[in-house]
Chains A and B, each alone.
Chain A
Amino acid sequence: MKRFMAFVRKEFLHIFRDYRTLIILFGLPAMQILIFGYAVRTDLTNAGIAVLDNAHDEVSAEIIGKLEASEFFEIKFHLTSYDGIDEAFKQGKIKEVVIFPENFGARLTREGNATVSIIADGSEPNTASLVTGYTTAILNDYSSTLTRQLTSAIPVINPEVKMYFNPNLESHFMFVPGVITLILILVSALMTSVTIVREKEFGTMEVLLVSPLKPWQIIIGKVAPYFFLSLVNVIVILLMAWFVFGLPVRGSVALLIAECMLYILLGLAIGILVSSSVDKMENAIFISFLTLMLPSLLLSGFIFPIENMPKIYDYVSMILPPRWFVEIIRTVMIKGGGLAVIWKETLILVVMTLFFMALSARKFKVRLGEGTK
């Protein structure tokens, strides 16, 4: 028994003296609680919506007033025609449009039955379901108040829900863009850092440095295959999405590929930066996972909409490349938006890429570091 205890004690000491195990044991659970606790909200606040009031009567005005007053919604546009809808969705400013047909009020009071069209942004299925659910609840709430006033048949408001971009509200519309984001950054950043650090670990890096090969040749040479292979990866995923799920690319394919290339470059630059900071492959993997995969998964808007998170998470996610890329991919792939819509996000990625490239160029040493032994 004593032997066993002696061994257990040693294990505790190892755990407390290694920063990596400490992070996994304590840092991760804390992070997950914070994220899941706050980020995952199944309630809605201030979701942007638009209304198209073709009825212009008291009833529609009252319902719109209720929508306005509720904390769940914020009416961003009072549309006057169907024209603005597509653009508004593409720009991502609104999550749904509520459309009241002509004679809405009349039909409701006289026939006891009227339809309201709700068109939701299906590119984010989770949000879409939430939003339409809340809207329907408000409509039902309203009709129940009406019932008390009238003595004849119970009026019913029929919500006619359509999912824009994603008619069948299929979840893979959400997943495929997210998966592309995740895989690209993982492959380009993780694999790049590992391959460079491996040379360091095996000692072959020394000989390369001493050779006539210029540092940029070494880096680009290491990184080029991954660039190429990542692109192949993307194409395969897109093809699979098309053939297996029937997921199309609504926007320009060329634009999509170009954005992917940009994103891959960014991942590669991050990978090079990581590799110049660590000496062992296992550390490279650890850091890549910790700083890239987890935040990408949880804070990029891939699974949990950023709008639902407290403001601070929103700010934090701004420094995460995946957040911007998910937006770009969704817009181009599913909403069919063009560069005009996503120029802001693209610019941010370009700036990030240049920043990381400059940083890693400075850090990559032409010689072995001081701490090397």
Chain B
Amino acid sequence: MPAVAAYNITHRYGSVTALDDVSVTVNDGELFGFIGPDGAGKTTLFRIAATLMIPSEGRMTILGLDTVKDYRELRNHIGYMPGKFSLYNDLTVEENLNFYATIFGTTVKENYRLIEPIYKQIEPFKKRFAGRLSGGMKQKLALSCALIHKPRILILDEPTTGVDAVSRTEFWEMLAGLKSEGITIIVSTPYMDEALRCNRIALIQSGKILGIDTPQKIRDSYSQKLYAVRHAEKYKLLLALRSVLSSPDRENPAPGSMLHAPRPLPLATSAEPFGDSVHITLPPGTAPGDIISALSAAGLPGATITETTPGVEDVFLELMKREMS
């Protein structure tokens, strides 16, 4: 029995479709990530999972229970952490934790072992008002509050958004630690790099699922060879590459112009900035060396090109473009 199973979930807010025929299964004990930007539908999906909303169409089961019909029973087994953490700002760290323990019919003592590695980092601040904690501390407190009643499944909605890079890393380490307890965890995040920390991921954009698999298989699904081109002048490089890849005459590329709408490259080619390089795919029949010479001719000598492994974001971009066309 899967821990989470969504069957053709569609949800609308008035005329806006937030989720479009979403189907997904999550296995027991998995750390499953939903990766997508704002507005992708992650929060809507998670609210349906947390029994807070009834989907316009479709159904979802969690731990074998229906989220609509069996919501009362289900709420005992779910640990939910909504976006923006939802802590009581005018209660202390301690008071927040005690409150959540009590309304779930347990005590902090009873399940302390479970939250210990997380809570002990903020314990020195236990008398501080939750509103005065830093983002990273709020995160830890919210997670502790969600865990304190030993749920069988954790639903975490964008727990790393708006938090600094260091805390984000630490948070994922905490989640990894929880897996050994056999708790199923579903997490949503807009940060593509966090995808690698999950057992499996679903890429989601504009209410649609673009792909579901392990991060590795997702990366492997990239349809072509990917190359990274580097040059000191990043912008000119980007423009020149677009020009080179789209013009039939590679020897004399046309100079780039202001680009505000995606300039249509022929199918199966792409040029996207990625940090210090531009990731490109080559049109059939073009060798890497051709690109370098074309760039030289365009006034950018000294560029380098290396084959590179596609990342989750590369795949996301590819799938997004495919979906949009």
Contacts and interface: CB of A to CB of B under 8 A. Distances in A.
B197 interface: no
Interface in B1-54: 13-14, 47, 50-54
Interface stretch (A40-48, A75-83, A175-183, A208-216): A208-216
Interface residue tally of chain A, by bracket? 10 to 19
B54 A206 contact: no
Interface stretch (B78-86, B198-206, B267-275): B78-86
**A204, A210, A212, A370 — most chain B CB neighbours (10 Å):** A210
B89 A207 contact: no
Nearest to A221: B103
Q: Is the interface of B mostly helix, strand, loop or mixed?
A: loop
Interface in A179-215: 202-204, 206-213
A295 B22 CA distance: 50
Interface string A19-50: 00000000000000000000000000000000
Contacts of A202: 84, 86, 88-89
Contacts of A148: none
Given A368-B47, A373-B13, A204 B86 contact: yes
Interface string B52-95: 11100000000000000001000110101111111111000000
B104 interface: yes
Interface majority SS on A: helix, strand, loop or mixed?
loop
Contacts of B104: 211-212
Nearest to A217: B103
Contact of B103 (A203, A206, A211): A211
A204 B13 contact: no
A204 B87 contact: yes
B105 interface: yes
**Of listed A211, A213, A372, A373, residue having the most chain B CB within 10 A:** A211
A276 B206 CA distance: 30
B52 A368 contact: yes
Nearest to A366: B71
B86 A368 contact: no
Nearest to A367: B52
Interface in A208-266: 208-213
B62 to A, nearest CB: 12
Contacts of A211: 75, 100, 103-104
Nearest to A204: B86
Contacts of A368: 47, 52-53
A212 B76 contact: yes
| Chain B: number of interface residues, binned into ranges | 20 to 34
A213 B89 CA distance: 20
Given A203-B82, A373-B13, A210 B50 contact: yes
A366 B67 CA distance: 13
A197 to B, nearest CB: 15
A371 B13 contact: yes
Nearest to B39: A373
A206 B83 CA distance: 10
Contacts of A210: 50-52, 75, 78, 80
B68 to A, nearest CB: 9
Given A202-B89, A210-B75, A371 B14 contact: yes
Contacts of B47: 206, 368
Contact of B52 (A209, A371, A373): A209
A209 B51 CA distance: 9
B278 to A, nearest CB: 36
B51 A367 contact: yes
Contacts of A204: 86-88
Contact of A207 (B76, B86, B105): B86
Contacts of A373: 13
Nearest to B79: A210
A207 B82 contact: yes
A104 B67 CA distance: 86
Interface string A332-373: 000000000000000000000000000000000011101111
Nearest to A207: B86
A367 B80 CA distance: 14
17 contacts: A203-B83, A204-B88, A206-B47, A206-B80, A207-B80, A207-B82, A207-B86, A207-B100, A207-B145, A209-B52, A210-B52, A211-B103, A212-B76, A213-B103, A367-B53, A368-B52, A371-B13
Given A208-B103, A371-B14, 13 more contacts: A202-B86, A203-B82, A206-B80, A207-B81, A210-B52, A210-B75, A211-B103, A212-B75, A212-B76, A367-B54, A368-B47, A368-B52, A372-B53
4 A-B pairs with least C-beta separation = A203-B86, A204-B86, A210-B80, A368-B52
Interface of B: 13-14, 47, 50-54, 71, 75-76, 78, 80-89, 100, 103-105, 145
Interface of A: 202-204, 206-213, 366-368, 370-373
